[in-house]
Amino acid sequence: MSPIDLPRIVDELERLSIEHSRAQFETVEGEITANFGLLLADAMIYAIGFISIIIGLADIALSINPTEWLWSEGDLILLCSGVALWVCSQSLNDFKRLLPLWLRMVLKLGIGPKDFSDQSEAAQKRRAATLVIASLLSAIIGWRISVLPDTIATRIGIDFHIVIYAVSAGLLFLSMYWNRLIGEGSDIEQFNR
């Protein structure tokens, strides 16, 4: 090897190291916002789904025995939308929440959703699509709660369906944000330059 070839060889080694370790040094601009947004969205989706199931069951469940429930008098749209929203919440967490906490700890699965950079592009797209579906389901739940004979108000006096509409819009904006991040791709930080 001649000294003249050394710079070319070093440049080639540097190019190969950057190319083959690209995933180790990727940073996505706005990733922290995406991660925090997903955690908040997961909590809101879970809560709205749970509340809509409770409201849907309140009219039909006169006893603890489901065979005695008055299914024809219940709001099945509210009930089914709540269950579907709960499934969306599970999907954001890769269905880990179905396992008992002790088993998740033993398997080292964690509690919340994976970070944006730890997900494959297919998983990122699935979560963005799940957020759109959750937004639509939340809007349906908000509409069904708005047509109930009795209004539900928050502590500060705002009707609950308005809060659900705001969450629905937030979920849609978060999905658009995720799609923008997915479309931009990842930037590679080059050190020592």
DSSP summary character for residue 193: -
Strands (E), the chain: 26-27, 187-188
Amino acid (one-letter) located at 177: Y
- Burial of residue 122 (CB within 10 Å: 0-12, 13-18, 19+) is exposed
Structure tokens at 163: 């809060």
Distance CA 92, CA 124 (A): 10
Distance CA 129, CA 127 (A): 5
Residue 192: pLDDT over 50? no
pLDDT at 21: 57
Distance CA 54, CA 27 (A): 42
Summarize pLDDT for 150-170 with one digit per residue, the tens: 777 667 778 888 899 999 999
Summarize pLDDT for 18-54 with one digit per residue, the tens: 666 555 555 556 777 888 888 888 889 999 999 998 8
Q: Which residue, 126, 115, 58, 33, is CA-closest to 88?
A: 126
Residue 95: pLDDT over 80? no
Q: How far is CA 154 from CA 6, 45, 157, 158, 164, in A?
A: 71, 17, 5, 5, 11
User: What pTM, to 2 d.p., does this model score?
Assistant: 0.72
The answer to whether residues 76 and 56 touch, using CB atoms and an 8 Å cutoff, is yes
Distance CA 127, CA 116 (A): 10
